[in-house]
A and B are shown apart, each in its own frame.
Chain A
Amino acid sequence: MTADERTDRSDARDAAWTDVPKWLMPRPQLEDREFWEGAGRGELRIQRCRSCGRHQHYARMLCSHCGKATLEWVTASGNGTVYSFTVIRQNGVPPFNERIPFVVATVDLDEHGARMIAAMPALDPADARIGMRVRATFRPAGDEFGFVDFAPAS
């Protein structure tokens, strides 16, 4: 393989992350439009419960921890810790099959109670570790919305 071919492949893989096909676009609903719009402008928006003080992701009409409906939107720090991860080496569906191998992690946000699954496009699979500190990054999904990814904290 020549250097040019590697470059081509890299470009193709980048495109597989940035060119989001229509069918994969977020379809916000009443409860969670704030999350998708927040990600579109580079903010990680989650809910905090005024009754129990805990956070949650994804957005709901009541607190999944205590059951109260006393929720408010807050902007998370974007910092978190990897609870677990896997390296996806087989996914038959485009565009994912053009991304492999890639890391998907379960991240505990620093905001207590909130956990999310996210891709880690910038992380070499060999460097993935449970317990590693990570920070949110944002990837556009159309003009209005965005996806939240994670990258190693610098």
Chain B
Amino acid sequence: MLEAQSFRRALDDAGLEKDDIGGLASAGYGGMHEVALAEYLGLAPSWLESSSVGGSSFEFHAMHAYRAIQNGDVDTVAIVYGNNQLSASGRTLGTGGGGGGRGMALPRPMSYEFPTGLTLVGAYAMAAQRHMYEFGTTPEQLASIAVQTREHAGRNPRAMYRDPITVDDVLGSRLVADPLHKLDCCVISDGGCCVIMTTEDRARDLAHRPVYVRGASGGTTHHSIAAMPNMTRTAAAVSGPKAFAEAGIAPGDVDMFAMYDSFTYTVLVVLEDLGFAPKGEGGAFVADNGGNLRLGGALPTNTDGGGLSCTHPGMRGLFLLCEATRQLRDEAGESQVDGAEIAVAHGSGGWLSTQATVVLGTEAA
């Protein structure tokens, strides 16, 4: 039970016991999952959150928990996720299996999309293709995101794939849905994660130096990719500026970026939407020789190796908050971004459908 394992480790990390937890958030399963999870964990939470909006659910959870804690509705919240995606379903997610499938009553709009044979990977691929068409973005530029992310994974003993790769390796891996190659796609793994949020007063008395939420925002533009008004602009173009404004920061102030890298293109388009690069210039920003995403680069990104190389158990949103927290606590070891004070965790869910930005900072930030 990956959720329980993660929950127990997070309690130990914080120096808390289960009865300290007054609120529970989880996502991504059938109805009432978080209620069953509460029962399994022996919790009777008075605050429940089950926004289930794909991979970004957990950034929504963190935002809602932040507001609820500020409002005094709840004192301490555990956000929990675990999934044995790889063991249960193999590497089928994204290419026709692992979601959707035979015999299901197909909800609209998927009843129109599914019979075409479009896959989850294919939906992202169409968006990437449009970006290449409008802005001249190249497969090499997309590949360079995977290359730099793999460098980070090489420093993380827990990452699934750690051997260095080159742009040629990415371009030489088979095409899954043009223009996305196998190595443009995130891994499929098992995994679990838990993040605990509490009041500032309580956090000061716990085992580690606190990491603060400084701003958060989220939104959606569509469900199915056909309804995405502009495939080169996501809801991050709204959530990012709102979250940054609340935090009182500019993109240049961000020391480290934990970005939901379901695919290389997801990183590219959201880098632009959040203002790290002007619209259409994301390709140049991530280009390999620039090294902006590396340690020591302008914006070290996915320092744990990301979904592209480290872990992606169905949904990755919670792991982003965990890695950003590790960095701001100066606990990232070989992957540490020197002097990291401000980190951004950004989740993307569905088919670029839902986006949520959480700005985290140290006490000094």
> Given B97, B175, B225, which contacts A117 in the complex, CB threshold below 8 Å?
B225
- Contact call A86/B226, Cβ cutoff below 8 A: no
Interface residues on A, range: 35 or more
Query: In chain A, what residue has the closest Cβ to B103?
Result: A23
By secondary structure, the B interface counts as mixed
Q: Smallest distance from the beta carbon of A102 to chain B beta carbons, Å?
A: 6
* A92-B115 contact in complex given A58-B108, A84-B231, A86-B125, C-beta closer than 8 Å: no
- Contact call B95/A92, Cβ cutoff below 8 A: yes
For B108, list chain A residues within 8 Å (CB).
29, 32, 58
Query: Does B281 make an interface contact (CB < 8 A)?
Result: no
Q: In the complex, A135 Cα to B329 Cα: how many Å?
A: 57
Q: In the complex, A58 Cα to B222 Cα: how many Å?
A: 13
For B96, list chain A residues within 8 Å (CB).
90-93, 96-97
- Contact call A104/B117, Cβ cutoff below 8 A: yes
Q: Smallest distance from the beta carbon of B125 to chain A beta carbons, Å?
A: 4
> Given B106, B109, B113, B133, which contacts A130 in the complex, CB threshold below 8 Å?
B133
Q: In the complex, A84 Cα to B180 Cα: how many Å?
A: 14
- Contact call B119/A23, Cβ cutoff below 8 A: no
Query: Does B118 make an interface contact (CB < 8 A)?
Result: yes
For B114, list chain A residues within 8 Å (CB).
24
Q: In the complex, A32 Cα to B106 Cα: how many Å?
A: 14
* A117-B116 contact in complex given A90-B176, A92-B96, A93-B96, C-beta closer than 8 Å: yes
- Contact call B126/A88, Cβ cutoff below 8 A: no
- Contact call B115/A147, Cβ cutoff below 8 A: yes
Count how many chain B residues have C-beta atoms less than 8 Å from C-beta atoms of the other chain.
Answer: 40
Query: Does B9 make an interface contact (CB < 8 A)?
Result: no
Query: Does B73 make an interface contact (CB < 8 A)?
Result: no
Query: Does A106 make an interface contact (CB < 8 A)?
Result: yes
Query: In chain A, what residue has the closest Cβ to B231?
Result: A84
Query: Does A27 make an interface contact (CB < 8 A)?
Result: yes
For A119, list chain B residues within 8 Å (CB).
116-117
- Contact call B111/A24, Cβ cutoff below 8 A: no
Mark contacts of B82-107 with chain A using CB atoms, 8 A cut-off: 1 yes-contact digit, 0 otherwise: 00000000001001110001110110
- Contact call A84/B97, Cβ cutoff below 8 A: no
- Contact call A86/B95, Cβ cutoff below 8 A: no
- Contact call A117/B176, Cβ cutoff below 8 A: no
Q: In the complex, A56 Cα to B94 Cα: how many Å?
A: 27
Q: Smallest distance from the beta carbon of A40 to chain B beta carbons, Å?
A: 14
For A104, list chain B residues within 8 Å (CB).
116-118, 122, 126
Query: Does B129 make an interface contact (CB < 8 A)?
Result: yes
Q: In the complex, A119 Cα to B126 Cα: how many Å?
A: 13
- Contact call A24/B177, Cβ cutoff below 8 A: no
Q: In the complex, A102 Cα to B175 Cα: how many Å?
A: 13
Q: In the complex, A27 Cα to B129 Cα: how many Å?
A: 31
- Contact call A91/B117, Cβ cutoff below 8 A: yes
Query: Does A125 make an interface contact (CB < 8 A)?
Result: yes
- Contact call B95/A118, Cβ cutoff below 8 A: no
6 example contacts (A-B, Cβ-Cβ < 8 A) are as follows: A83-B231, A84-B133, A85-B126, A96-B117, A104-B118, A117-B225
- Chain B positions within 8 Å of A, measured between CB atoms, are 92, 95-97, 101-103, 105-106, 108-109, 111-119, 121-122, 125-127, 129-130, 133, 174-180, 224-227, 231
Q: Nearest 7 pairs between A and B by C-beta?
A: A93-B96, A86-B125, A84-B130, A96-B117, A87-B178, A117-B226, A91-B96
Q: With contacts A86-B129, A96-B117, A117-B118 known, what are 11 further pairs, Cβ within 8 A?
A: A58-B111, A83-B231, A84-B133, A86-B180, A88-B122, A89-B177, A90-B174, A99-B117, A104-B122, A106-B126, A116-B112
